[in-house]
A and B are shown apart, each in its own frame.
Chain A
Amino acid sequence: MADASGGRIRLTVLGGYLGSGKTTWLRHQLHLGRFGPVHVVVNEAAETSVDDILLTTASGLTLLAGGCCCCVGRQDLVTALRRLCDMRSRIISTDTRLDRIILETSGLADPGAIVAAIQGDAILVNHIVIDETIVVVDALHGLAQLQSEPLGRQQIGAADRLILSKSDVADPATLTILRATLRDLNPAAPQTGAILGQDVALNRLPPEMQAAPLPHLSNEDMRGPIIPACVTVGANMDWSLFAVWLSALLHARGNDLVRIKGVVRTPAGRLLLQTVRKVVQSPEILPNRADLGQDGKIVFIGRGFRPEDLQLSLDHFMEPTR
């Protein structure tokens, strides 16, 4: 498993709230050629689309308008992706063919639901591997959205990487509080800044910085807010045991576990493990590095459990097997 994609197309999901700057960011990244030759799939919840006009530098573009592809437009998305896979399968593997797709979701989409839809499709799962979920956060309005919109919190929870757009116009103090709040909601996702799509460095976030209090929302789950927890498995963890435990945990609590992310040591090497709800993405083997400090620490983001119970449960699982 040197290459986790195994000849499959790599798919990057680009999400973020309405107006957060997804298209602006993507447009600049395409201009810079960051993703190489790429096919862009744009989803817009509205019937009238604008984004496709802006993204002309992509190698190919598919527009899915008139339905958010995490819910009502899900079948359209699956059909469009199947068509791309089909077209690629007709080209022999030694020729240049499609290697990467970027899916720009609508601002109302839950990236977690999209990942689940793709991995739940018997055809797509054999052709597409989810590479990364990038979520763009509006530095100006992000905090207000997090305080009032459950969807905004779901999007943050599903992210592998957070891009703070409009970071130049936001008040520095507010930006720091927003970043601390994002760190609280998803400690595993690195944060970078962007101004009109151009990367900008963000100041170091002080560890003691307090997150903004997020109120309970009426249409949010009654089992409480989404909270992060960290489980330490140690460098010499038994992968088989951990896999048995995690599979049982995901079966019982998968819908409550918005996100799990961490690096674990296995006989095959350092494994990047990440899940979105019940869906586990193809674990990727990472190169060995000198700095292995974060290995064996796994972040769980979810609700309906006490953070300390996760470690207790894993320890309990180990007991009869000793």
Chain B
Amino acid sequence: MCNACGNPAVPGHWTDAGADTPGDRLRARFRRVALLNKILRPYGLSAHDDGMVPGIQLSTWSGNTTIVPDLGSLWADAERLIGCPIDPLDAEYLHG
């Protein structure tokens, strides 16, 4: 953990486990942010990860932006930004 910024606070988020080498890890970050953009677009959100800055930048289309450390905390912030819950098992999402 970095003494100056405290990042990362915990050893490796579980969502990073599928990538072993530095190259795989970078590829996984870009792939993840591309997927997030497709999934979050209907909610009026976009995600950005340049591979350098730790974390994922999450923005509304009006420019309200936050940085989340990992996928585990992304969804709570996404809900806060759009003001409604995101539930993959929501009946409207599944059958609407």
Residues of chain A at the chain B interface (Cβ within 8 Å): 1, 6, 8, 122, 125-126, 238-241, 243-245, 247-253, 264, 266-269, 271, 273, 280-283, 285, 305, 309-310, 312-313, 316-317, 320-321
Taking each of A6, A125, A266, which has the highest tally of chain B beta carbons within 10 Å of its own beta carbon? A266
Say yes or no: A321 contacts B87, CB within 8 Å. no
**A282-B14, A282-B17, A310-B89 in contact; A251/B72 too (CB < 8 A)?**
yes
Q: Which 10 A-B pairs have the closest CB atoms?
A: A266-B18, A239-B18, A268-B20, A251-B75, A283-B17, A247-B71, A243-B15, A252-B87, A280-B14, A240-B31
A309, B20: Cα distance in complex, Å: 32
Say yes or no: A240 contacts B87, CB within 8 Å. no
Residues of chain B at the chain A interface (Cβ within 8 Å): 1, 9-12, 14-15, 17-20, 24, 28, 31-32, 35-36, 38-39, 41-42, 71-72, 74-76, 85-90, 93-94
Chain B residues, Cβ within 8 Å of A249: 88-89
Residue of A nearest to B28 (CB): A240
Closest approach, in angstroms, between the C-beta of A112 and any C-beta of chain B? 16
A250, B89: Cα distance in complex, Å: 11
Say yes or no: A244 contacts B32, CB within 8 Å. yes
**A252-B89, A317-B39 in contact; A244/B10 too (CB < 8 A)?**
no
Say yes or no: B18 contacts A126, CB within 8 Å. no
Contact of A247 among B17, B31, B75, B85 (CB under 8 A): B75
Say yes or no: B20 contacts A252, CB within 8 Å. no
